A and B are shown apart, each in its own frame.
Chain A
C-alpha cells in the first residue's frame, strides 16, 4: 500500500472521529437531533481531501500520518470553537480552508526543491526581525490585551509573529548548517549573528511585552543550535543569557511581572491590590481570574469529562465564565468536556505529530533538511507546551495559540505552511533513500 493510500485511509478515520465530535456539539447546541452538522463535516473533509490530492501529486512519498493528524486536530479545534461560539466556528472553518489552500500553494511553489530557500537565509533572518518589530511600529501596530502582537494594514489584520517564526527556522537551518563546524569549535566571531538573535529576542520582548513568543522563538533557536553543534554548554549559556536578560528587564516589564506573580500564587487568602479596578481584591478575583477559572474548568472534567456540549462555560444567565476561551484557553474547554481521557488523546495527537516530524529530521540526508524539520517539529512541541503548560500552571501563562486547534486565522495559516515544509522535507528524504 502506498504512503498516500494509507494517508487517505487514516484521513477517513480522522474524519469519522472528527464528525462524531462535531455532530455531538451541534446536537447539544440545537437540543434536538438534526443533520445541520453534515455540511460542516463534509466541507472540512473535502478540504482535506483536496490537500491529500495535491500531496499525492507533489509529495507522494511524504510521511502519511502528518496530514491526518492535522485534520483530526483541526476537527477537534473546529468542534470546540463552534461549541463556544458558532459564529467564530464559521470563520474557523473558512480559515482552515484558506490554510489548506496555502498548504497547496507552498507545495506547488517548492515542488522542485525546497532547498532553494537556503540561498536566501539572510533575507529570511532579517525579515523575521522586521516582522517581529512590525507590531510596535506606530500607526500599523495594534495593542490587544496589553500585548502588541497585531498589525493592521488596510482591511488586513494579522499576527506577524506567526510568520516570523517560520522565517526564523528557515534562517537558522541555513545558517547553522553553514557554520556548525566553526561554531562547534567555539570560535567567538561566529557567535556574532547568534548574539544578535539573542539581542533581537530581548528587544522584541521589550517592545511587545510578549513573553510567550519570545520564549518560543528563543527555545526553537536553542534546540536547533544544540542539534547543529552538539554542545550542551551553548544551550545552558543561552538559557542563562535569556534568564539574565529577562531578570534585568523584569522590573521594566510590568506585564511579565504580573504573569509570574499569578503563576506562583494564583490564590491569595488576603486581599491584595488589584490594578484592574484599583481596589483590594483576592487575586483569584482579579489578576488570576482567568487562570483560576480555567483550572476549575479542567478539574470539572475529571476522568471522563462532561461530554461535548455539556460542559459549564457560562453562568446561569449566559455570561461567559472564562474570557478568551476559544483562543488561549481552548485546552481548558477540551479538558472539561472530554475529560482526562480526551485531553490526553489530544495531547497524544500532538505527541505523534512531533514524533513523526522528528523522524523526518532523522532520516533526511542533508544538514539543512534535518535542521529545518527538527526546528519545525520542535516548534510545534514547544508552542503546545507553552500554551497548554500555561493553562495548566506548569509555566507562566502567555497568550499564544494551540497549533491547529485555537481560533485564529494567522495561526492556522502559518501552521499549515509549517506542515507543507515538513511534508516536502519528508518526501525528499524518502525519495532520496529509494534512489
Chain B
C-alpha cells in the first residue's frame, strides 16, 4: 500500500504548494494591477496613513493635508485652499469618492511609492521607525492669478480657457466652467452639482478643456490653411472667387453672412474675414485625408500629452458613432464642409491651443506639461520636467506667413476684440452652429507676444450655447486672460 500512500502524500503536499504559488501570484505579479483599481478601498484607506505630498502652483498651495486622529491612527485628509480655482487639474483625493486629477494620476509620487531605490529604502526605514511615510511634493506650472481671471471671465457661461507658453509647452491656465469645490467632494458631494450655470446638464466635474469635444467651426480653418500652404498649391496671395456659397456634394454651403459676397479675394483676406466658400473649395481641392494628415501633425488623433489621468483627455478628430475615426478614402468625408470645421470634426480646447501655439512658435509644436518638478520631503528636487518637441507641424516659412495672416485677423478682421496695445496678437475666431438657433459653440484661438519676439502665450477659448459670434464672445475673454499673463514672463 505504501506506493499509493506516497502518491497520496505527494498530492496532498502538491495542494499546499499550489497555495504558496497562488499567494505569490497575488502578492507580487498581480499586486500593482489590484492596487490601481478604483474599487480597491483597502489600498485607498491604507494610503490615508501616508503624509501625502503637497500640490503647489509656483506661488500658491493647491492641496495640502489636514491631520486627524481616529481610533489611534493618524490620518491625512486633503484640503484644497484654492477651492474651485484649479479643481479640474488638481482633482481630489477622498475616501468616499476615490481620486481624480493629478491626485489620481500622480498618486504614486504623492504617496512616495514611485521613487528611485534610495528613496524607497528611506521610505521603508521610516516605516520601520514608526514614522509616518511622507510623500513627494508636486509643483505645477499653473498661474493661479490668471487662472482666477479666466474663471471670472467665464462667469456663468459654460466653456473652457486653455493657455500655454508655446515656446516650452508649459500649461499656464486651464479653466473649465462651471467648476466645483473639491473640498465638498468627500462629505457634501450633493452640493457639487448645485450650481448656477448657463448650460444643462452643468456637469461641473467634467474638465471641458480636455474632455469637452466641440465642433471647432472656423477656428479649424487654421489647420486647413496649414494643409493648403504645405501642399505648395496655394499661397497667401492665391486668388479666389466668392459667390457667397460653395457647392459641396450638390448642396449649397453658405458663408456666415450670405448677403454680402466678397467677389474676388486673396487667401489672406479670406482668413481675415473667415470666408467659408474659399476654404470649402480648398478642402475640395486637397481632399479630406490631406487635411487630416496636417491635423495629425498638430496632435489630432492622439490624446494630448499631459500629466492628468489618461481618461481625462480626449483626442480630437473626426468622430463617427461616438468613436474616433480616420477615413480610409477621401470620398467618405465631405472635405468641403470639414475644411471650415463642420462635418463631425470634434476638438478639445487644449488641442486648439496647441494649434495656435504651434503656428506662433514658428511651426514647432511643444509637448504640453503642467508638472514643473517633484520635490522630496527633504526639499531636494528629485525630478524636473524637460521641455520636448512633439512635432514640426508646419515649415518655418509657412508658419511665418500663417502667423502674419492670423495677426491681420486681429488687426482688421473678425478678431479685433482681442487687440492688446503694445503686443502682437494673432488669432482666429470660430462660430460653430449646433443645429439649434442661437446656441452656437464659439471659439477664439490666439497667440500673443512682444513684436519681433516669439509669442509668450497661446490660448484657446471655447464657449457653449452662445447666440453671438466667436469674435464677440470668446475674443474678449481671450484678451483679458492674455493680458493677465503677458509682460510678466521671462523667457523660460
A residues in contact (CB < 8 Å) with B: 31, 223, 226-230, 282, 284-285, 292-293, 295-303, 306, 312-318, 321, 335-336, 339-340, 343-344, 347-348, 350-351, 354-355, 358-359, 361-362, 367, 370, 374, 377-378, 381-382, 384-385, 388-389, 392-394
Contacts of A284 in B (CB 8 A): 39
Contacts of B7 in A (CB 8 A): 226
A227-B5, A300-B43 known; A347-B13 Cβ under 8 A: no
Count B interface residues, CB 8 Å.
43
Partner of A394, one of B18, B35, B75: B18
Q: Which residue of chain B has its CB nearest to the CB of A375?
A: B8
Cross-chain contact A335 with B12 (CB below 8 angstroms): no
Cross-chain contact B9 with A394 (CB below 8 angstroms): no
Q: Which residue of chain B has its CB nearest to the CB of A304?
A: B124
Determine the distance from Cα of A96 to Cα of B37 in the docked complex, in whole angstroms: 39
Cross-chain contact A312 with B28 (CB below 8 angstroms): no
- Closest 10 interchain pairs by CB? A358-B9, A381-B12, A385-B15, A392-B22, A299-B34, A312-B46, A296-B42, A340-B27, A351-B16, A299-B31
Contacts of A336 in B (CB 8 A): 42
Determine the distance from Cα of A374 to Cα of B8 in the docked complex, in whole angstroms: 8
Determine the distance from Cα of A392 to Cα of B5 in the docked complex, in whole angstroms: 28
> What does the 1/0 interface line of B5-34 toward A look like (CB < 8 Å)?
111110111011111101111111011001
Cross-chain contact B5 with A361 (CB below 8 angstroms): yes
Cross-chain contact A316 with B75 (CB below 8 angstroms): yes
B71: interface (CB < 8 Å): yes
Q: How far is the CB of A257 from chain B (nearest CB, A)?
A: 23
Determine the distance from Cα of A384 to Cα of B9 in the docked complex, in whole angstroms: 15
B190: interface (CB < 8 Å): no
Determine the distance from Cα of A200 to Cα of B22 in the docked complex, in whole angstroms: 32
B70: interface (CB < 8 Å): yes
B118: interface (CB < 8 Å): no
B residues in contact (CB < 8 Å) with A: 1-9, 11-13, 15-20, 22-28, 30-31, 34-35, 37, 39-43, 45-46, 48, 70-72, 75, 95
Q: Which residue of chain B has its CB nearest to the CB of A313?
A: B42
A227-B5, A299-B31 known; A316-B95 Cβ under 8 A: yes
Cross-chain contact B39 with A230 (CB below 8 angstroms): no
Cross-chain contact A367 with B13 (CB below 8 angstroms): no
Q: Which residue of chain A has its CB nearest to the CB of B30?
A: A299
Determine the distance from Cα of A228 to Cα of B71 in the docked complex, in whole angstroms: 57
Determine the distance from Cα of A186 to Cα of B43 in the docked complex, in whole angstroms: 56
A340-B23, A378-B8 known; A297-B42 Cβ under 8 A: yes
Contacts of B17 in A (CB 8 A): 351
Cross-chain contact B42 with A382 (CB below 8 angstroms): no
Q: Which residue of chain B has its CB nearest to the CB of A367?
A: B1
Contacts of B22 in A (CB 8 A): 389, 392-394
Contacts of A315 in B (CB 8 A): 41, 45, 95
Q: Which residue of chain B has its CB nearest to the CB of A228?
A: B1
17 contacts between A and B (CB under 8 A): A223-B8, A226-B7, A230-B4, A285-B39, A292-B39, A296-B40, A296-B41, A298-B26, A299-B26, A299-B31, A335-B26, A343-B23, A347-B16, A374-B9, A385-B16, A389-B18, A389-B22
Q: Which residue of chain A has its CB nearest to the CB of B48?
A: A316
Cross-chain contact B41 with A293 (CB below 8 angstroms): yes
Contacts of A343 in B (CB 8 A): 23, 27
Q: How far is the CB of A79 from chain B (nearest CB, A)?
A: 19
Contacts of B5 in A (CB 8 A): 227, 358, 361-362, 370, 374
Given A299-B43, A300-B46, A315-B41: 4 more A-B contacts, CB < 8 Å? A299-B27, A347-B19, A370-B1, A393-B22
Q: Which residue of chain A has its CB nearest to the CB of B6?
A: A362
Q: How far is the CB of B384 from chain A (nearest CB, A)?
A: 30
Q: How far is the CB of B402 from chain A (nearest CB, A)?
A: 44
Cross-chain contact B12 with A354 (CB below 8 angstroms): yes
